[in-house]
Structures are given as structure tokens and as C-alpha cells.
Amino acid sequence: MRLTCPLCGPRDRREFYYYGAADYLDRPAADAAPEAWDAYLHLRDNIAGPVRDLWYHDQGCGSWLVVDRDTVSHEMLSVRAVAEDRA
């Protein structure tokens, strides 16, 4: 399994740390209802198919990455830096 880091190029999966679904990007407001926090922290669509998740180039540039990926075929559809996405 390989990811193409936008900064470092194509690298083996072992350089990266996987965090979880990109849901983690959408942190609720501090005063959001407990249900919103429960959903943010715990509940997942957990799709068998195309998903968006978060990886970290741990053994590389330290970029957090938004990865579009297929959980059935393991196809990597796209990799972008979180920082670019958020800018």
C-alpha cells in the first residue's frame, strides 16, 4: 500500500500513521450539544466503499493528509494536505 504525499511523493504505507475517518476534522463548537460530541468522537458511517480519512506522514514531513480511499478495493483516490484543504 502506497500513498502519494503532496510534499514527499509516493511512499510506502509504513511511513504513515492512520488516524481515522475525516469526521475528526469537523470538531463541534465548545458549547455544542453532547450528541454532537458523541457523533464526532464515536459514531461513524463506516462505509464499505469510497471514504475520506486522515493520515499523518509520521516518518516524513509531518503533514496531516486527507485521503480519499476505497475500503473495499484499497484504491487510493486522492491525497491532499489537510493544511491546503483548510487554508
Partner 1 sequence: MRIEGKGLIDRSQTLGFRFDGVEHVGFEGDTLASALLASGQRLIGRSFKYHRPRGLVFAGSEEPNGLVTVRRDGAGVPNVRATMQELHQGLEADSQNRWPSLRFDAMQVNDLFAPFLGAGFYYKTFMWPRAFWEGLYEPLIRRAAGLGRLPQEPEVAPYEKVWAHCDLLVIGAGPAGIMAALTAARAGADVILADEDARPGGRLLAETHEVGGQPGPAWVAAAMAELRDLGVRVMPRTTVTGAYDDGTFGALERVALHLARPGDLPREAFWRIVARRAVLAAGAQERLIAFPGNDRPGVMAAGAVRAYLNRWGVAAGSRVAVFTNNDDGHRTARDLHAAGIEVTALIDARADARLDAPFQVLRGAKVLGTEGRLALKSVTVETDHGTRRVPADCLAVSGGWNPAVHLACHHGARPWWREEIAAFVPPHPGKPGTVPGLIPCGAAAGVFSTAGCLADGQRAGLEALAALDRAGEPAPLPEAEDAPVRVTPLWEVRGEGRAFLDMANDVTTKDVRLAATEGFTSVEHMKRYTTQGMALDQGRGSNVAALAVLAEATGQSVPATGTTTYRPPFTPVSIAAMGAGGRGKGFAPERLTTSHRAALDRLAPMIEAGLWYRPSHFPRTGEPTWKEACDREVATVRSRVGICDVSTLGKIDVQGPDAAAFLDFVYTNTMSTLSPGRVRYGLMLREDGMVMDDGTCARLGEGHFLITTTTAAAGQVMRHLDFVAQALRPDLDLRAISVTEAWAQFAVTGPKARRLLDGILDQPLDEMAFMACRDVQLHGVAARLFRISFSGEEGYEVAVPARYGNALYRDLVARAEAMGGCAYGMEALNVLRIEKGFLTHAELHGRTTAFDLGLQGLMSRKKDFIGRAASERPGLSGPDRQQLVGLKATGRGDAVLAGAHLFPQGAEPVPMNDLGYVTSACWSPTLGLSIGLGFLRDGRTRHGERLQLLDSLRGVDVTVEVTAPVFYDPDGVRMRG
Partner 2 sequence: MRYSGFKVLTEGFSGNRGWTRAWREPEPKAEYDIVIIGGGGHGLSTAYYLARNHGLRNIAVLEKGYLGGGNVGRNTTIVRANYFLPGNQEFYSHSLKLWEGLEAELNYNVMHSQRGLINLFHSDGQRDAFARRGNAMISQGDDAELLDRAAVRRLLPYLDFDNARFPVQGGLLHRRGGTARHDAVAWGYARGADRLGVDLIQNCEVTGIDTAGGRVTGVQTTRGAIRARKVGIVVAGRSGQVAAMAGMRLPVESHVLQAFVTEGLKPAIDHVISFGMGHFYISQSDKGGLVFGGDLDFYASYAARGNLPMVEHVMEAGMTLMPMIGRARVLRSWGGIMDMTPDGSPIIDRTPVEGLFIDCGWNYGGFKAVPASGWCMAHLMATGEPHEVARRFRLDRFATGHLLDEEGTGSQHNLH
**Using rule CB under 8 A, residue 47 touches partner 1:** no
- In the complex, minimum distance from the CB of residue 46 to partner 1, in angstroms, rounded to a whole number: 18
Exposed (0-12), middle (13-18) or buried (19+): which is 42, by Cβ within 10 Å?
Answer: exposed
In the complex with partner 2, the residue whose CB is nearer, 71 or 78, is 71
**Using rule CB under 8 A, residue 54 touches partner 2:** no
36, 38, 40, 46: CA torsion to nearest 10? -120
- Residue 56 interacts with which of partner 2, partner 1, none, CB < 5 to 8 Å by class: partner 1
